Structure 1
Amino acid sequence: MTEFKPIKNKRISESILEQIKKLIIEGQLVPGDKLLTERELSEKLQVSRASVREALSALTLAGILEVKHGEGIYIKRSRPNTVIEPLSFILLLEKDKLQNILEVRKALEVEAAGLAAERCTPGMLQELKTVVEEMEEDLSSGEKAEQLDLRFHLTLAQASQNPLLSRLMNTVQETISQTLRVTRALWLSATSGTTRRLFEEHRDIYLAVAARDRYRARELMYQHLWKVEVELGRLNRNNSEEE
């Protein structure tokens, strides 16, 4: 019988995630299994239904759980193109650790930029150009900045012509989107001229890809993500000093 343990932890939703993850890894829960109801989980784990709901929502968003209306919540059966989905578990639990996420992004996106410069088709190159042009148009309002930023990086991964790399990026896109939201908010509030500088960095990466310069494309992407790390480190130090 599947055994859930009462939770006594300040980060309750993450503890729930960890328990469900462990049960799946150990094979106590397998794809197709029906999960306990929200109320039953709340009682067994001795936590609020709100905490259970938060954890279940995150797992559903990650593609781990599936809600069948009128039936219940099930461990989702994997599709052939979702073998990377277990990574979502890791990144869900790391979503507030921006340093870790940025390191993962560097590992994926620096290589994606280089491969895109080597392999990008005319159609994908045009798509990248369109995103960059929309970024420039959005400079004055910034209404679509986060959306366009994510679109640029996902398009670049697709332009690498490596289906596995593209799937990896799409698997973690929600986490990347959360990172973009946080980093932009922090950076824009503390640094003037950031919006244009970020646009120029994306534009220069696109130009390196268009020029088929894989070394420059990699270097520019690395510098782009490294600057975000440096700025976040500075902001964290300033916040610590203020405290």
Structure 2
Amino acid sequence: MAVTDEAISKIREMITSGELAPGDRLPPEKELSERLGLSRSSLREAVKALEVIRILDVRRGDGTYVTSLEPRLLLEALSFVVDLHSDRSVLEIFAVRRILEPAATDLATRAATDEEVDRLAAILDLVDPGGSIEGLVDHDLAFHQAIADISGNEYLSRLLESMSGGTVRARVWRGITQHGASERTIAEQASILAAMRSRDAQLASALTCAHVAGIEQWLRSDMESRS
């Protein structure tokens, strides 16, 4: 288990055991890291991840608190990580995407007008590498869906759109826990766009396959590390 994941697991156990209740303030960082046997850097990463999924509330200059959600909602938020890593159907979705998305990119590269390629570039230009993980995931979904739409195959486009919702949590979790995931995603998309602009359908398709496979491989490894 990765160090950050271990930190997340230990904080989650403190909450589910009742040691920390909704609205409680976490002990100071130094004290908590020593109690849990973790480095302060891994503890910070864990806090950041749990803040994203609304388990913790970081109040600048005040401290970090367990969110004041009612117990049912807090447990639903805590189940985020557990459900993601116990539901192996998401791996099957990524496997299907790895087949279909390169095909959509191939078709789109051959069919795209200069204006459509420019619109893809505009989507890429809007992303903020230092922004929220949720924002990056929304951008990633929009980029790939735009390519599918350009392919000209409406059935393929709608099929990929219907599958995207099942991968959102995995993409968010990767962005939280994998170092450099945001920068890697943007760089891979820029390479796909460059291949499309040069009308190299084979290269654009191969880059798309590698892009999807990278997420799939990370998720598989992450699941195996928890089994």
TM-score normalized with structure 1 length: 0.54
Summarize deviations over 1:186-226 as a string: whole Å, max 9, x none: 22333211110011111111111111001111110000011
- Counterpart Cα distance in 2 of 1:156 and 1:102: 17
Match of 1:176 among 144, 160, 164: 164
| 1:140 aligned residue | 130
The aligned runs of 1:29-108 (5 Å cut-off) are 97-108=89-100
| 1:153 aligned residue | 144
- Counterpart Cα distance in 1 of 2:225 and 2:199: 40
Match of 2:192 among 205, 213, 232: 205
Question: Is 1:110 matched up with 2:98?
Answer: no
Question: Is 1:164 matched up with 2:155?
Answer: yes
**Residue type at the aligned position of 1:196:** E
Counterpart contact for 1:146–1:177, Cα < 8 Å:
no
The aligned runs of 1:180-191 (5 Å cut-off) are 181-191=168-178
Q: Which runs of 5+ in 2 are unaligned?
A: 1-86
- Counterpart Cα distance in 1 of 2:142 and 2:104: 14
Summarize deviations over 1:40-65 as a string: whole Å, max 9, x none: xxxxxxxxxxxxxxxxxxxxxxxxxx
Match of 1:127 among 102, 119, 128: 119
Same amino acid, percent of matched pairs? 27
The residue matched to 1:161 in structure 2 has which SS?
coil
- Counterpart Cα distance in 1 of 2:174 and 2:220: 11
Higher helix share: 2
Please state how far the C-alpha of 1:232 moved relative to its aligned partner: 0.7
**RMSD of aligned Cα (Å):** 1.7
Moved over 6 A (4+): none
| 1:60 aligned residue | none
The residue matched to 2:131 in structure 1 has which SS?
coil
- Counterpart Cα distance in 2 of 1:145 and 1:96: 24
Count of residues in correspondence between the two structures: 140
| 1:59 aligned residue | none
Please state how far the C-alpha of 1:233 moved relative to its aligned partner: 1.2
The residue matched to 1:144 in structure 2 has which SS?
helix
- Counterpart Cα distance in 2 of 1:168 and 1:131: 21
Q: Which has the higher contact order (CA 8 A, sep 6+)?
A: 2
- Counterpart Cα distance in 2 of 1:185 and 1:239: 18
Please state how far the C-alpha of 1:168 moved relative to its aligned partner: 2.4
- Counterpart Cα distance in 1 of 2:158 and 2:116: 16
Counterpart contact for 2:141–2:164, Cα < 8 Å:
yes
Counterpart contact for 2:145–2:157, Cα < 8 Å:
yes
Please state how far the C-alpha of 1:134 moved relative to its aligned partner: 1.0
- Counterpart Cα distance in 2 of 1:111 and 1:216: 12
Question: Is 1:195 matched up with 2:182?
Answer: yes
TM-score normalized with structure 2 length: 0.58
Please state how far the C-alpha of 1:162 moved relative to its aligned partner: 2.1
Please state how far the C-alpha of 1:104 moved relative to its aligned partner: 1.7
**Residue type at the aligned position of 2:111:** R
